[in-house]
Each structure stands twice: as C-alpha cells, then as structure tokens.
C-alpha cells in the first residue's frame, strides 16, 4: 500500500505528480472512503472506483487529510447532503464537495471593518514612528495620530502644555487658529516620540 508522508497528506492534489496521485487515490483514499461509507456490496464498491478519479477534478485544491475530513462530515450528517448508507457514485461526490465548500464558507469569521481599520491605523502609526526615527519630523497630515493616541490615553498632555504650544504656533502662523492647533498637536506628538526614542522604546509597545 502506498504510504503518504505528512507533506503529501496536506499539500493540494494539484501539486502531487500524476502517477503518485492516481496510485494514492486508488490504494489509500479509496479504502478509507469505503470504510467510512460502509460500502459492503460489489455495486457500491465499483461505483466508488469509477467515481474517485473525479476527485482530481473536484478537489484539486485539497490535500488527502481535508478530503477525508470532508467525507467524515458527510457521514456525520454535518453537511447539507443526507448521508446514504452503503452508497456512492459520481453525482453524490459532486454534491458532497459543493456542500463542503458551503460549510467552509459558513465557518469563515466575518470581517469586522472597524477591526480592520484599527489594525491599519496601528500599522500606519508604527511606520510613522520608524520614519520619525530617521527624519525627526512629522507631517501635519498626521494630526490624526495625535488624536488617536490621545483618545487611547497613550498621549495625555496637560492643558498648560497644550496652551503654551498653541500660543507659540499661533504667533508664527499669522494668527491662523486652525493651523496653530494642528502644529501644536504635531509638536506634542514629536516630543512624545523623542521621549520614547530616548528611553529606547517603540510606539508599537503601546498601541
């Protein structure tokens, strides 16, 4: 009997050489499925032998372990195909595969857009910090990072510091209040990053 190595059990069928694949289907997969489906009569066994080559068509992206798991789910009644004792043919194979794909889709976790945004924000902040280490400057477009860290309670400047920074930049911004506020926030953020660098710390440890 052909023995499957661990890698052969898990790699997709499309990556197994044709000759090895055919032999493994007939000598390894066929007996396993036959036992799972309790195929005891000659007709069902013959149908199995005829249908199994279609696995190469339906299951190219699966490994042998996943194919066996698919049939176990079918036998246990966990797919949308009613198990039929002592029966198998090519049509049933197609139904099992289709139902198994639906089953896998149902198991996939739903993507939470809010979580994705948080992950993206964290990555952007880490990249900003790494860029600051190199250039010692933060563009005003990154005012949102100050707001993000402030809302998280990571960057918490006191009111006196915010006022002093604001007045400094109000003077150099020709009394442009909005610009002064932005520049003040960026300056506070830069000071915070410098403290982290001086303490040999990284922003990724805090977000």
What does the domain layout of the chain look like in residue ranges?
Answer: 6-107, 113-205
Residue 126 to residue 77: CA distance in whole angstroms: 48
Please answer whether residues 99 and 83 qualify as being in contact, where contact means their C-beta atoms are separated by less than 8 angstroms.
Answer: no
pLDDT digits (tens, 9 = 90+) for 59-93: 888 999 999 999 999 999 999 999 998 888 889 99
Please answer whether residues 185 and 139 qualify as being in contact, where contact means their C-beta atoms are separated by less than 8 angstroms.
Answer: no
Residues in the chain predicted with pLDDT less than 70, given as ranges, are: 1-9, 111
Q: Residues in the chain, how many? A: 207
pLDDT at 60: 84
* Coil, strand or helix at 196: helix
pLDDT at 4: 53
* Coil, strand or helix at 132: helix
């Amino acid at each position: 009997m052909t023995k499957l190595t661990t890698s052969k059990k898990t790699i997709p069928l499309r990556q197994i050489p044709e000759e090895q694949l055919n032999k493994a289907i007939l000598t390894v997969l066929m007996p396993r499925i036959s036992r799972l489906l309790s195929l005891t009569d000659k007709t069902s066994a013959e149908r199995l032998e005829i249908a199994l080559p279609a696995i190469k068509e339906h299951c190219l992206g699966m490994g042998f372990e996943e194919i066996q798991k698919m049939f176990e789910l079918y036998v246990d009644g966990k797919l949308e195909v009613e198990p039929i004792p002592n029966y198998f043919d090519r049509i049933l194979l197609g139904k099992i595969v289709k139902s198994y794909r639906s089953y896998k889709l149902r198991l996939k976790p739903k993507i939470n857009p809010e979580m994705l945004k948080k992950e993206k924000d964290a990555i952007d902040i880490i990249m900003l910090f790494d860029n600051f280490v190199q250039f010692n400057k933060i563009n005003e477009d990154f005012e949102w990072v100050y707001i993000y860290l402030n809302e998280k309670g990571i960057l918490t400047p006191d009111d006196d510091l915010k006022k002093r920074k604001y007045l400094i930049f109000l003077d150099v911004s020709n009394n442009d209040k909005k610009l002064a506020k932005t520049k003040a926030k960026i300056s506070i953020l830069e000071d915070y990053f410098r403290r982290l660098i001086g303490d040999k710390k990284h922003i990724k440890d805090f977000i």
